[in-house]
Amino acid sequence: MIPPAPLPSHPLHAAPGIKCLLVDDVPENLIALEALLEQRGGVEILKAQSGPEALELLLEHSDVALALLDVQMPDMNGFELAELMRGSERTRHIPLIFMTAGSREQNWQFRGYESGAVDFLYKPVDPHMLHSKAQVFFELHRRKQALALALQQRTEALRVNEMFMAVLGHDLRTPLMSISAAATMLKRQPDTDKVAAMADRLLSSSQRMGGMIEDLLDVTRIRQAGGLALKPAPADMQALVQRILEEIQTSFPERQINPMLLGDLQGVWDGERICQVMTNLVGNAVHHGTPTEPVQVLLDGRCADVVVLEVANGGTIDPDLLPQLFDPFRGREPSAGRQQGLGLGLFIAHQIVLAHGGDIDVRSQAGVTRFRVTLPRVAPGAAATQAA
């Protein structure tokens, strides 16, 4: 089994590390605090020697778990910095602990708590107490990150499940209705000349339904097994691409497809899965490219370690769609008259390329859309499979 691949083409972000902001105008104090808080590791320390410098750091870094603020600083004291932080939606949630070497006046403590502080410590600060307090906030922040990540994953899973139901209710219904209508006509049609045409219609619709079901099964395998299983074997990329181009050209004789094959195109891949990638990319170019411009297919094997496949067609893709192009369904609503499939082809192609240890990207500009696939000559795990 190939190593797990996440469902979306752009992986859900893992919880970031813990960040702690230290603000003190005395460099020695910052060094001591940093050494204390980094004892257990896993904490990114952000250091500032003034209020303005701290605000700049907060603009660069999000998701800060704790801020330790010195009260007595020139230009902007700790209370003023806290008020500015509380006034921003981005930073108002950050827990604040004030530290001061000044007198133990209750007015200072009241002002500190009014500024949003969770604690008020006097220097010299007991290192064990500060360490214990900081660890509490770090642990709370870790749990918050874990909950946020779990919610993100569940939301994504719910979105995909809803899209599954939408496409099952719409896209599969169209060829099923076509099959039903053709079968009804066959029962009533004595004209043998029309029987062959209806049989072709039945066959075409059933094949389209079969392709949709295979796409859904592939997505299910990716979701449940964490990736696609490959069967790598020695393969000739030239033979694969020629086979696919002949099939597509037969279906679309009016479209011009220009192949260019360069270099050594031998490697160890899952041939049928690579054919899926080619079928999807070239098929998309034929369906969505400018009809009057040829589809360009380049297969470049001049590099010793990789083989490159490029498919280019006339026309451009909406820039807003590009970042989600390899996502399953891409959040689309089913559209009337849509015949090509479930919108899963690019997602599955992306997962196949990743399973082979390669990468795929797309550029769409100056009236041309170009997909580029880079594959290592030997798929991961191929040596072990051949040895077995």
List pLDDT tens digits, range 194-213: 777 777 667 666 666 766 67
pLDDT at 107: 63
Q: Does 132 share its domain with 76? A: yes
Q: Which helix (H) or strand (E) holds 311?
A: strand 306-314
Q: Does 291 share its domain with 378? A: yes
Q: Would you tell me how many other CB atoms lie within 10 Å of the CB of residue 197?
A: 12
Q: Does 220 share its domain with 241? A: no
Q: Does 190 share its domain with 137? A: no
Q: Which amino acid is at 113?
A: Y
The string of pLDDT tens digits covering residues 241-277 is 998 898 888 878 899 999 999 999 999 998 888 988 9
Range of the domain at 369: 233-387
Q: Does 237 share its domain with 378? A: yes
Q: What is the CATH number of the domain that holds 379?
A: 3.30.565.10
Q: Minimal CA–CA distance to 350: which of 276, 297, 269?
A: 276
Which one is predicted more confidently, 4 or 300? Answer: 300
For 308, the 3-state DSSP assignment is strand
Q: How many domains does the chain fold into?
A: 3
φ, ψ of residue 194 to 5 degrees: the values are -95, -10
pLDDT at 173: 64
Q: Does 340 share its domain with 246? A: yes
| Residue 11, domain member (yes or no) | no
How high does pLDDT run on average in the chain? 79
| Residue 5, domain member (yes or no) | no
pLDDT at 358: 93
| Residue 184, domain member (yes or no) | yes
Q: Minimal CA–CA distance to 367: which of 314, 321, 290?
A: 314
Residue 168 confidence (pLDDT) above 80? no
CA–CA gap between residue 150 and residue 254 (Å, rounded): 50
pLDDT at 2: 33
HSE, side-chain direction, 13 A CA sphere, residue 21: 32
pLDDT at 367: 92
Which one is predicted more confidently, 298 or 224? Answer: 298
Q: Which helix (H) or strand (E) holds 203?
A: helix 192-225
Question: Span 276-284, mean pLDDT?
Answer: 88
Q: Which residues pair with 18 in a beta bridge?
A: 43
| Residue 4, domain member (yes or no) | no
Kindly write down the DSSP assignment for every residue of 84-100, as one continuous string: HHHTSTTTTTS-EEEEE
CA–CA gap between residue 321 and residue 384 (Å, rounded): 39
Q: Which helix (H) or strand (E) holds 258?
A: strand 257-263
CB 194 within 8 A of CB 171: no
CA–CA gap between residue 173 and residue 261 (Å, rounded): 40
Q: What predicted TM-score, i.e. pTM, was given to this entire model?
A: 0.52
Q: Minimal CA–CA distance to 337: which of 185, 202, 173?
A: 173
Q: Minimal CA–CA distance to 289: which of 261, 255, 319, 260?
A: 255
CB 368 within 8 A of CB 311: no
- Which range among 2-16, 320-334, 343-357 has the greatest average pLDDT? 343-357
Q: Does 117 share its domain with 84? A: yes
pLDDT band of residue 224 (cuts 50, 70, 90) is low
Question: Span 66-84, mean pLDDT?
Answer: 87
pLDDT at 337: 39
Q: Which residues pair with 298 in a beta bridge?
A: 260, 310
pLDDT at 239: 92
Q: Does 213 share its domain with 105? A: no
Residues 6+ apart with CB under 8 A from 179: 202, 205, 206, 209
Tell me: cis bond preceding 124? Omega within 30 of 0 counts.
yes
Kindly write down the DSSP assignment for every residue of 26-92, as one continuous string: -HHHHHHHHHHHTTTS-EEEEEESSHHHHHHHHHH-----EEEEES--SSS-HHHHHHHHHTSTTTT
pLDDT at 14: 43
Residue 388 confidence (pLDDT) above 60? no
Which one is predicted more confidently, 217 or 68? Answer: 68
| Residue 112, domain member (yes or no) | yes
- Which range among 127-136, 144-153, 207-216, 307-316 has the greatest average pLDDT? 307-316
Q: What is the CATH number of the domain that holds 26?
A: 3.40.50.2300
Q: Does 255 share its domain with 200? A: no
Q: Does 211 share its domain with 260? A: no
Residue with tokens 């002002």: 111
| Residue 156, domain member (yes or no) | no
The string of pLDDT tens digits covering residues 11-54 is 444 445 788 899 998 888 888 888 888 766 678 889 999 989 98
Q: Minimal CA–CA distance to 100: which of 20, 21, 29?
A: 29
pLDDT at 189: 65
Q: Does 262 share its domain with 371? A: yes
Which one is predicted more confidently, 272 or 110? Answer: 272
Q: Does 24 share its domain with 109? A: yes
| Residue 163, domain member (yes or no) | no
Residue 3 confidence (pLDDT) above 50? no
Residue 140 confidence (pLDDT) above 80? yes
